[in-house]
Amino acid sequence: MGLIGDEDAVEIRERLKEMVDPVRLIHFTQELNLEYGREAKQLLEEVASLSEKLTLEVYNFLLDKEKVAEYGVDKVPGTAIRNSKDYGIKFYGIPAGYEFSTLLDAILDVSKGDSGLKPESREKLAAVTQPIHLEVFVTPT
């Protein structure tokens, strides 16, 4: 049995039609002692199957050290969302519940190559002169 129901799959497939360019989900996992590892991988497999413009690559966090370094993933399960450019978007844990819509939004934004920010926000961000590391933490309730 899948994690995404039939009705939800239809709706997700419709949303993913908005994709412009292909997107790669680069997922890192490990087999032992990983809470929600199997479910996170299964969820991403199901999402990737809903659009021809979406592909999933799966790597072992412990064995594929070169890929871990290349994509800058430091926890598992971890997923980088990229097209030909790295926007620095990564999800850690399972993107389920409310975070699932955030995953879809990130896929669409990366596909379009545009954050959707207003011009005023872009101006303010252009004035930033030092690198910023931003993390958003979410806990299930």
84, burial (CB in 10 Å: exposed 0-12, middle 13-18, buried 19+): exposed
Per-residue model confidence as pLDDT tens for the chain (141 residues): 789 999 999 999 999 999 999 999 999 999 888 888 999 999 999 999 999 999 999 999 999 999 999 999 999 999 999 998 999 999 999 998 889 999 999 999 999 998 888 999 999 999 999 988 888 777 665
| pTM for the whole structure | 0.89
Fold of 6-116: Glutaredoxin (3.40.30)
Q: Where are the domains of the chain?
A: 6-116
